[in-house]
Amino acid sequence: MSSNGPDDLGERIAQAQAARAAKEAAKRKLEPDEGSLSAGAYALRYGAEFVACIFVGGLLGYWIDVFAGSKPWGLLIMGAFGFAAGIRAMMRAYRELNARAQETSQGSETSTNGTGNE
C-alpha cells in the first residue's frame, strides 16, 4: 500500500461533495421559488384545490348513486366528504404558509442582527 491512500480518499470525498453541491445548486436554480408567488397566485392555487375536492367528492357520489340507485344520498354524503377534504386542504395550506412566513421573517432577523453585537 502506498502512503498517499488516505490523501487520495480525502480528495475523492471532497470532489464528490463538490459535485453533489453543484448538482443541488443547479437543481435549486431550475425549481421555481415559491417565496416569489403573489397573493393572487396562492388564492388561485388553493381555491382551485378546494373546488376540486368538492367536485371529486360530488362526482364520486353521483357515480355511486347511478350504480347503487340511492338517488340523492351518495351525492350528498360524498359531497360532504369532499367539502371536509377541501376544508382540511385549506387548513394544511394555512399551516404551510405560516411556516414559510416564519422562516422568511427569521431569516431576515438573522441577516439584520448578524453583526455580533448583542
Q: What's the pTM value of the predicted model, to 2 decimals?
A: 0.60
- Percent of the chain past pLDDT 90, that is, above it, reads 43
The pLDDT confidence band at residue 54, using thresholds 50, 70 and 90, is very high
Which pLDDT score, from 0 to 100, does residue 66 have? 93
Which pLDDT score, from 0 to 100, does residue 88 have? 96
Cβ neighbours of residue 63 closer than 8 Å, sequence gap 6 or more = 74
Which pairs with CB-CB distance under 8 Å and at least 24 residues apart come from 64-71? none
Cβ neighbours of residue 97 closer than 8 Å, sequence gap 6 or more = 42
Instruction: Please say whether the beta carbons of 49 and 92 come within 8 A.
Output: no
**How many CA atoms lie within 13 Å of 117's alpha carbon, on the beta-carbon side?**
2
Mean pLDDT of the chain, nearest integer: 83
Pick 19 or 97 by higher pLDDT. 19
Pick 31 or 39 by higher pLDDT. 39
Cα 66 to Cα 75: distance, rounded to the nearest angstrom: 10
Q: For the residues 55-71, what does the mean pLDDT come to?
A: 94
Instruction: Please say whether the beta carbons of 72 and 65 come within 8 A.
Output: yes
Pick 11 or 63 by higher pLDDT. 63
Handedness of CA 30, 34, 35, 37 (dihedral sign): positive
Cα 81 to Cα 52: distance, rounded to the nearest angstrom: 12
Cα 10 to Cα 53: distance, rounded to the nearest angstrom: 53
Q: Which pLDDT tens digit goes with each residue over 9-26? A: 888 899 999 999 999 888
Domain layout of the chain by residue ranges: 38-107
Q: Map grid coordinates 350504480 to a residue.
A: 67
Tell me which of 1-5, 65-69, 71-75 is least confident.
Answer: 1-5
